[in-house]
Amino acid sequence: MRHIAPKDAAEADAVETREWLDSLDYVLQSGGPAKVARLLRDLTIHARQNGVKLPFTANTPYINTIPAEEQALMPGSPDIERRIKSLVRWNAAAMVVRANKAEEGIGGHISTYASAATLYEVGFNHFFRGHGGNGDGGDVIFFQGHAAPGIYARAYLEGRIDETHLENFRRETKPGGGLSSYPHPWLMPEFWEYPTVSMGLGPIMAIYQARFIRYLEDRGLKRQSNAKVWAFLGDGETDEPEALGAITLPAREKLDNLIFVINCNLQRLDGPVRGNGQIIQELEAAFRGAGWNVIKVLWGREWDPLLAKDRDGLLVKRMGEIVDGQYQKYAVESGAYVREHFWGVDPRLLDMVKHLSDDQLKKMTLGGHDPVKVYNAYKEAVVHKGSPTVILARTIKGYGLGEAGEGKNITHQQKKMNEDELRAFRTRFNIPVSDADVAETPFYRPPDESMEMRYMRERRKALGGFVPTRKVRSEPLKTVQHELFDEFYKGTEGRKASTTMVFVRLLSKLLRDKDLGRLIVPIVPDEARTFGMEALFRQVGIYSHAGQVYEPVDMDTLLYYKEASDGQILEEGITEAGSMSSFIAAGTAYATHGVNTIPFFIYYSMFGFQRIGDLIWAAGDSRTRGFMLGGTSGRTTLAGEGLQHQDGQTHLFAMAYPNCVAYDPAFAYEIAVIIEDGIRRMYVDQESIFYYLTVMNEQYAMPVMPDGSREGILKGLYRFRATANPNAPLRAQLFGSGAILPEVIRAQEILESRYNVGADVWSVTSYSELYREGHACERWNMLHPGEAPQVPYVTKCLKDAPGVLVAASDYVKALTDSIDRWLPRKITVLGTDGYGRSESRACLREFFEVDYRYVIVATLAALARDGKLDPAIVQQAIKAHNLNPEKVNPAIS
């Protein structure tokens, strides 16, 4: 073999590469891109067959997906748009700076919006559709929470909010009104549609929103439209499991109505997102692997001529080998530094930029700051068919803030600017604020008839009105048919049923109702059979856009697994987070889509508030309506499943969700009363509340509804059964809820027959409702001294009720403790604090000390404590009922 010197080898390599590339160019010119793609595929196969191991990559090179030569010209006036953007930037920064001057530490974010301004402004001027447009329905936009100042600043320029509002940013209780820190429909119900600031929730809610729109269209509840769901998120945010955890769904469902825009400024709060790697490439691989259309917008137009000259791919290679931590460094460094360190590694690269000054090098923009690049990405995204699109836009955090924090690690928390920094910012963006005034950071809105203002208004008019705008677009329901619920008031005449079975029967009736039926949206994360809901598969079908393209194995059975494009059930698979996102989409459709859909989301109660509490909080904030049903609930009622399944705490959690109305019903009629009233309150009276009901799988006979109990059921407490022996020498009031109520009723009988204690039994359907009402009275009394005090409902109920008080529930004791201050006497509380066990129901109730025997002993012990009974009788009862006084405390074992 001929000896080749190393230098010649390198040269030979280069020549060889050149020849291959020239051949490829030839094929490209003569045969087009499709032919090149085929050739490359054949080459790959051939290489593999001959033992060449090709590394797997889901990535494309580190350049823009849309090549410069395929770019469309941007319509409109780039100059005016730039002006508008500068004004928004200024007002957004002014708002944050002023708020922090007025009140130290009030916070706010400058840098997120500063990096995302172009991403939003291109959307506002060209893409985001308002609801008043061409009848298509508007876009649904999830704004990145930390970018809120920019969205407010634009609304101010649009004349939708005034200076007082801006001045009171983050001080919303001030006279004249303020602006909430982040997107919160609860606080600004005519502005924000969806909350996003708990990171990761925006993306998953957006995915399920896009799917829900398809569902509404397929079921004929909404007209087909081209409306899009946009989700704006940060690159750091993508580390949240919810952000990427559901991305296969929209690809599988071909949701081309969904667009993610990820602002890749390569930074999060503390530092770089991937200092030693490349977040953009990582995300590209994840999204491409999941089946998304990925559009990278990395480089601004100044890079186009350089890339055009990059015949040998040296520049592309260089772009792709820099890690994000280093890119961040270039962003804060001088042009000379960039020349030396980025370009300086190869004389050929240096040569490419020798005509550019250091200053020009420094000013080369990134894709996410270039309106033309962003416009083209959006343009492609909105017409793309067959899959969702993600736009990965590269930007600089704190763009334009200069010394005040562009690209620095501390940038995220930047909220103050000194006078020099403000002056520089003002000058850079050409804001007409004088040197004398600049330190005051005044807001600036040009005159109404200025070009900028006219342009803004015209663009928004053409696109269907201002966004974001939240508006209730549905008419309230007229009434709820009382007859639907009648059968449940009558009891089961001794037949045993569980509250879950009752609920499923009620749901099935609602689904058949001619008025309500089509509005019901059953949502279930792979537990329909657990809850005995499989009959609904056949009755209303499982929603699938594709219908059912296979023959189900159980086709010959009555209750086969029926998927249909007009199916009504959202069978989400094993994702409580996804199901909750569907719940939010369905429960806010009365506003977003003008449809009164009524979601019923039934799931394993343990995996609700405990697992996806933050999404439930977002549901409350979003003014979601609907019913959450915590199935198989109760620490001791769900037998066998053990510690991770047995829920004895979610009612305590639910209590802290301000507009969540929670009930732990025991009987069929209680469920019927609660759901009927819930539909009325939410869909007739349009209250912004949602419901949480726990339902159980223990079966017992359902009694007839006692007369006059409706109000008490709803308020949280009513006397279910008075003692047959009101004149007994010993008296007690027993509270029971959920599946523990039958234990309490059994205790009542034994207390009367064996111990001569006349006990009344009360059903506590909702401790949280009693707690809220009690506090409301107390608060009113505190603020109205000298007036007749309000008496809490629970106090009124028990005013004349004699004897000791004992409560038992399948939930933690804190629930009962929460109302004890309004009771006439001290209450003995039985509850299920502690970790569950895989045991039978009877053993569990013994272990947690909540069965009828404990209710008896607790009652007797309370009587003994009050001196009404000899303690020896309590001791005898402990023995007679086989209780072990030395057993471990379940709360800590």
Ligand X SMILES: Cc1ncc(C[n+]2csc(CCOP(=O)(O)OP(=O)(O)O)c2C)c(N)n1
Nearer to ligand X, 121 or 677 (CB): 121
267 binding ligand X? (CB under 6 A): yes
Burial class (CB in 10 A: 0-12, 13-18, 19+), 537: buried
Choose the contact partner of 197 out of Mg ion, ligand X, none; CB within 5 to 8 A by kind: ligand X
Among 100, 265, 636, 737, binds Mg ion (CB under 5 A): 265
In contact, 403 and 394? CB cutoff 8 Å = no
Q: Which DSSP category does 728 fall into? A: -
Q: Does 324 bind Mg ion (CB under 5 A)?
A: no
Kindly state the smallest distance separating residue 468's Cβ from Mg ion, in Å: 22
| 3-class DSSP state of 234 | strand
Burial class (CB in 10 A: 0-12, 13-18, 19+), 14: exposed
With respect to Mg ion, which residue has the nearer C-beta, 234 or 678?
234
Rounded Cα distance, 416 and 402, in Å: 13
**Least gap, CB of 401 to ligand X (angstroms):** 13
| Site membership for Mg ion, residue 328 (CB under 5 A) | no
Q: Do 730 and 863 touch, CB atoms closer than 8 A?
A: yes
Q: Assess 670 for contact with ligand X (CB under 6 A).
A: no
Question: Rounded to whole angstroms, what are the CA distances from 710 to 109, 179, 705?
Answer: 50, 41, 9
Asked if 235 is part of the footprint of Mg ion (rule: CB under 5 A), the reply reads yes
Binding mask 673-712 for ligand X (x = CB under 6 A): ----------------------------------------
Residue 440: both structure tokens together:
């005051």
What is the rounded distance in angstroms from the CA atom of residue 332 to the CA atom of residue 334?
A: 7
Distance CA 371, CA 203 (A): 24
- φ, ψ dihedrals at 44, nearest 5°: -60, -45
> How many angstroms separate the Cα of 789 from the Cα of each of 775, 777, 781?
13, 8, 5
Which residue, 200 or 831, has its beta carbon nearer to Mg ion?
200
- 12-20, 30-38, 235-243, 366-374 -> range binding ligand X (CB under 6 A): 235-243
Q: Under the criterion CB under 6 A, does residue 562 sit at the interface with ligand X?
A: no
Is 234 one of the binding residues for Mg ion (CB under 5 A)? yes
Which of these segments, 49-57, 260-268, 631-639, 846-854, binds Mg ion (CB under 5 A)? Answer: 260-268
Q: Can you give the length of the chain in residues?
A: 893
Among residues 146, 408, 593, 813, the one that binds ligand X under rule CB under 6 A: 146
Q: Which of 268, 394, 460, 731 binds ligand X (CB under 6 A)?
A: 268
Query: Of 263 and 633, which CB lies nearer to ligand X in the complex structure?
Result: 263
398 contacts Mg ion (rule: CB under 5 A): no
CB 568 within 8 A of CB 522: yes
Residue from 74, 199, 734, 844 in contact with ligand X (CB under 6 A): 199
User: Shortest distance, CB of residue 304 to ligand X, whole angstroms?
Assistant: 26
What residue 112 binds from ligand X, Mg ion, none (CB within 5 to 8 A, per partner kind)?
ligand X
Contact window for Mg ion (CB under 5 A) among 150-158, 231-239, 724-732, 806-814: 231-239
What token pair was written down for 638? 């769900």
Among 197, 331, 693, 850, binds ligand X (CB under 6 A): 197
Q: Smallest distance from the beta carbon of 391 to Mg ion, in angstroms?
A: 15
Beta carbon of residue 161, minimum distance to ligand X (angstroms, whole number): 23
Between 104 and 133, how does the x/- string for binding to ligand X read (CB under 6 A)? --------x--x------------------
State the minimum distance, in angstroms, from the CB of residue 148 to ligand X: 11
Nearer to ligand X, 390 or 661 (CB): 390
Identify each DSSP E strand in 418-541 by its residue range: 496-497, 520-524
Amino acid at 62: Y
Regarding 408 and contact with ligand X (CB under 6 A), the answer is no
Give Dmax (Cα) for the chain.
117
Q: How far is CA 4 from the centre of its chain?
A: 63
Which one of residues 158, 167, 218, 237 is an interface residue with ligand X (CB under 6 A)? Answer: 237
Q: Which stretch binds ligand X (CB under 6 A): 228-236, 444-452, 724-732, 751-759?
A: 228-236
Q: Where are the alpha helices (DSSP H) in 450-533?
A: 451-462, 483-486, 499-512
**E strands of 188-244, at which residues?**
229-234
Q: How far is the CB of 258 from Mg ion (least distance, A)?
A: 21
Instruction: Give 702-723 as a DSSP string.
Output: PPPPPTT-HHHHHHTEEEEE--
Residue 705 binds which one of ligand X, Mg ion, none, with CB within 5 to 8 A depending on kind? none
Closest by Cα among 368, 361, 325 to 344: 361
Alpha carbon of residue 262 to chain centroid = 17
Separation between Cα atoms, residue 469 and residue 420, nearest integer Å: 37
Tokens of residue 415, six digits:
């909220």
Q: Are 233 and 260 in contact (CB under 8 A)?
A: yes
Segment contacting ligand X by CB under 6 A, of 119-127, 236-244, 504-512, 596-604: 236-244
Closest residue to Mg ion, Cβ-based? 234
Residue 248, binding choice from ligand X, Mg ion, none, Cβ under 5 to 8 Å by partner class: none
Beta strand ranges found along 135-207 (DSSP E): 140-142
Site for ligand X in 626-655 (CB under 6 A): none
In three state form, how does the secondary structure of 640-685 look? Answer: CCCCCCCCCCHHHHHHCCCCEEEECCCCHHHHHHHHHHHHHHHHHC
Instruction: Note whether 411 binds Mg ion by CB under 5 A.
Output: no
Interactions with Mg ion, residue window 266-305 (CB under 5 A): 267
The verdict on 180 binding ligand X (CB under 6 A) reads no
Residues in touch with Mg ion (CB under 5 A): 234-236, 265, 267
Binding site for ligand X (CB under 6 A): 112, 115, 146, 197-200, 234-237, 240, 263, 265, 267-269, 273, 397, 412
